[in-house]
Amino acid sequence: MKTTSFLLVTSTLLLLTCTTHVFSATPCPPCGNTTVPFPLSTTPTCGDQSYKINCTSTGTLVFTTVNNSYPIQSINPQTQRFVIQPAPLIPNTCTTTDKIYEGIILNNTLPFNITSSNTIVYLNCTRDLLRSPLNCSAASACHAYINATVPTCQTGPLCCTYRTGGSSNSYQIRVRSSGCSAYSSFVNLDSGLAVNRWSRPGLEIQWMSPRETVCTSQNDCDAATSTCGVDSSSPNNGIKRCFCNGDLVWDPIQGVCAKKITCFNPDGCKSSHKTAIIAGITCGVGAALILAAIAFLLYKRHKRILEAQQRLAKEREGILNASGGGRAAKLFTGKEIKKATNDFSADRLLGIGGYGEVYKGFLQDGTAIAVKCAKIGNAKGTDQVLNEVRILCQVNHRNLVGLLGCCVELEQPILVYEFIENGTLMDHLTGQMPKGRASLNWNHRLHVARDTAEGLAYLHFMAVPPIYHRDVKSSNILLDFKMNAKVSDFGLSRLAQTDMSHISTCAQGTLGYLDPEYYRNYQLTDKSDVYSFGVVLLELLTSQKAIDFNRASDDVNLAIYVQRMVDEEKLIDVIDPVLKNGASNIELDTMKAVAFLALGCLEEKRQNRPSMKEVSEEIEYIISVASTKAV
């Protein structure tokens, strides 16, 4: 009976939408097993014609450059990027097969360019390259690459490495006899990794957000959502486009006019397309016929959804693996996770954080893992969660706790991290470590500060899109046995965030570390992390807790307490006695420098706080002072 009422509701909906025309912004059918997202276009009747790519008869997508073409390895509609496979070498030479076309040259009148995420290794270059701004030194990562992978290139006079993104490079990777004769490319490469851990070669290309669809008359537009009108912003006068009606806005990812909240769930979003098309087909037909047709269509649709779900599951793993972060993030099954954690047994529970429970587990090969069950805002679809997990998988830095993979089969998304043994910074500072272990000396603490700052600076400035941690605190900084610090829980707040989080009343972050500006406008920015990091610096300096009700009532908050002491010129009184007793003058100077850096981070006004990059450089400088003068 459930089906019957569903049918009735659907038919009412259909009758209501009977005036709807078929959408003109039609996405293309899949090419082989690969979904072709809007606006990419494989035929003249789908997608946006400015975004042509080819689908070969063997089901491979191909991107055509000015004189050549390259297979597409993966596509990410959310970031509007895809990765092509660079040309191979001619066997037994150090020349790429596309040298005859002078390498990769994009047509710069088309809406594609090369992203800034690619690391290019140039091989077999002439000495002229030494005068270029590229890194052709003996230390350049290309040498390790040649040694490990392409011995035929060892005879070439020079090799060089560079990161794309300078404007002259954004449309070409040039290969020619007067320059370099071969190249390869790697997306989001951490060149500190050993070559055998580099991801496979790929060149990432992005497309510009498509404009509203072009129309000649209102019939080309969806009357319910858009109106055909002259595009006044276009220099070629006379071009008309389907502009969105009322308070709807153009969603360049789905290619439709939509309500302002962007819908990230492709299944949910596309259903409106289907309904509209069905409406177009069934308009004017008698009610009985409509119902029969609907029943049939629903059956087919159900079948299609099942097929799509299976395809999606495969794609998910593909997307996670093609993330290019160097590490292959794995899609774990619910069964594997349950086995690893002994069915989430209570004795495996390591703790309960703001974003869910953490269990210790072991993979079949014995690797210790931390399994984090993320609590998510219920407004999130699985696809959005997956997308965010994918973004997390791409971040990869020695000062971040590594994400090994995830699992979305169980009710909550499960994130699987490398297991870091040696407790949190908070444990070390508050003496909760096993007896007999030396407490952190000043040198350790400076390095912990530097590692943390570098991890955060990477999230703010290197991750695409940038990730704001939102919950920086000493209990989120893990130490390994060499006392290297690794930032954990980054991006989890984003998983937990609902669409309206920036005006949500349930405060994110932790008392004592929270940016005071947040209370004024409820917005967390990179400078909120800078503020929280300032509190961590004070903890490193004082070994006191961020919030401690054992201090006098107006000193409960460490940031306020230290600020007051500095104002009264009593900074030295708050420094941890373990640090200052017996410290050299240089050490005391570096402690003061850290205190003033912390107070800079804690500035009331965001614009007065340094960026995480500046903070990290300053700490590096303080460390250099501490070490050079100590010798």
Window contacting ligand NAG (CB under 6 A); options: 131-139, 246-254, 269-277, 296-304: 131-139
Backbone angles phi, psi at 551, to 5 degrees: -80, 165
288 binds ligand NAG (CB under 6 A): no
Q: State in angstroms the smallest separation of the CB of 534 from ligand NAG.
A: 31
Vertex 577, ends 574 and 582: CA angle to 5°? 125
124 binds ligand NAG (CB under 6 A): yes
49 binds ligand NAG (CB under 6 A): no
CB-facing half-sphere around the CA of 101: CA atoms within 13 A: 18
Backbone angles phi, psi at 111, to 5 degrees: -80, 40
Interface characters, 2-41, with ligand NAG (x: CB under 6 A)? ------------------------------xx--------
8 A C-beta contact, residue 55 and residue 29 = no
Q: Which long-range contacts (CB under 8 A, 24 or more apart) does 384-387 make?
A: 384/264, 384/265, 385/413, 385/495, 386/316, 386/319, 386/413, 387/78, 387/264
Burial of 398 (0-12, 13-18, 19+ CB in 10 A): middle
- How far, in Å, CA of 123 to CA of 15, rounded? 64
Q: Are strands 28-31 and 34-36 parallel, antiparallel or unpaired?
A: antiparallel
8 A C-beta contact, residue 559 and residue 532 = no
Q: State in angstroms the smallest separation of the CB of 519 from ligand NAG.
A: 34
Number of residues that bind ligand NAG (CB under 6 A): 37
Q: State in angstroms the smallest separation of the CB of 168 from ligand NAG.
A: 9
Measured from the CB atom, the residue of 396 and 424 that comes closer to ligand NAG is 396
Measured from the CB atom, the residue of 101 and 419 that comes closer to ligand NAG is 101
Q: Per the annotation, does 260 bind a ligand?
A: no
- How far, in Å, CA of 367 to CA of 365, rounded? 6
Q: Which amino acid is at 151?
A: P
Q: Which helix (H) or strand (E) holds 473?
A: none
- How far, in Å, CA of 468 to CA of 388, rounded? 13
Report the site for ligand NAG in 139-178 (rule: CB under 6 A): 139-141, 143-144, 147, 152, 155-156, 167, 170, 177
Backbone angles phi, psi at 4, to 5 degrees: -60, -45
Q: State in angstroms the smallest separation of the CB of 386 from ligand NAG.
A: 19
Tell me whether residue 471 is one of the annotated catalytic residues: yes
Report the site for ligand NAG in 173-202 (rule: CB under 6 A): 177, 181, 191
Q: State in angstroms the smallest separation of the CB of 187 from ligand NAG.
A: 16
Catalytic residue among 471, 489, 515, 576: 471
Measured from the CB atom, the residue of 181 and 399 that comes closer to ligand NAG is 181
Residues linked to residue 414 through DSSP beta bridges, in sequence order? 373, 407
Measured from the CB atom, the residue of 101 and 362 that comes closer to ligand NAG is 101
268 binds ligand NAG (CB under 6 A): no
Task: Take residue 239 and report the two structure tokens written for it.
Answer: 């071009």
Report the site for ligand NAG in 81-120 (rule: CB under 6 A): 93-95, 101-102, 107, 109-110, 113
Residues annotated as binding site? 372
Active-site residue set: 471
Interface with ligand NAG by CB under 6 A: which residues?
32-33, 54, 59, 62, 64, 66-67, 69, 93-95, 101-102, 107, 109-110, 113, 124, 135, 137, 139-141, 143-144, 147, 152, 155-156, 167, 170, 177, 181, 191, 206, 208
- Binding site for ATP, residues? 372
